[in-house]
Amino acid sequence: MKANKIMDELYAMETTANYSHTCDTLKAGDAEKEVKKVAVTMFGTPDLLKEAAAWGADMLIVHEPMYFVHGDHIASDCTDPIILSKIEAAKESGMAVYRYHDHMHHHVPDMIGMGQFRAMGLSGRFEKGPYYAVNRIILDEPITVRALGRLMREKLGLAAPKMCGALDTPITRISAAFGTPGHLNDELLSEDVELILTGESDEWSFAEKVKEAGQLGFTKAMIVMGHIGSEREGMRYLADILQNKLPELEVRYMECGEVYEIG
């Protein structure tokens, strides 16, 4: 099957949004490439490109930008040596590299969120949130934020989930702002949200506000999971979906590694 036809199968899973300006496009290689092996990951790092190519992948599906800009729109006169080297590394891999981001988050339920909650083993009612890529879950059983942080280390392999706010009060109402979708303050102020799970947050203005909200008696908290840690299980979920959808392909999730190391 050709690479573009594989993506058409994935795109067809969610067609309700306007994708005229989507970032879900070919980033490197040939859209007409015949594919037998598909690698799926979060970021197509240089090391990941080498690993996937060595495995024999004909196609790589990434969730995040290849060239450090959301739409991967690189000017023809770009002189940034890191970006240019990355473009060359992607070409040298020989793979058709596609991004699959917008369709996953527009899907109901959000595919990234479903993968994350599936991996954590949390049971509850999953809801589409009020903003793009922001979702909600109402847990069946209350849990403290500290206990949820321990669960993330165990189930998601997070080395250091960062927590602030009301950490010892049992909560059930979670806003899943995985990655960095924005609207965190709107979610914090919502009466329907007790805990925000997110990949990234600025400390000086927002994290400090959450911490102090807890000290002021509000049942408000946040866990910063790291961008990759907050979305990788969604891509692992995608690999499973694609394998079941197209069993003639060999599909493998590959770990790109979190951006930071713990000293």
End-to-end CA distance of the chain: 45
Q: CA distances (Å), 56 to each of 38, 86, 115, 138, 195, in order?
A: 9, 20, 26, 42, 42
Q: What global pTM score does this model have? A: 0.96
- Return d(Cα 182, Cα 199) in angstroms, integer: 11
CA distance 184 to 129: 12
Largest CA distance in the chain: 59
pLDDT score, position 242: 98
* Low-confidence residues of the chain: pLDDT under 70: none
DSSP letter assigned to residue 206: I
**By the 8 A CB rule, do 158 and 229 touch?**
yes
The pLDDT, as a whole number, for residue 263 is: 84
Gap between the Cα atoms of 235 and 63, Å rounded: 7
pLDDT single digits (tens) 161-214: 999 999 999 999 999 999 999 999 999 999 999 999 999 999 999 999 999 999
Given this model, what pLDDT does residue 6 score? 98
Helices (H), 172-231: 184-189, 208-215
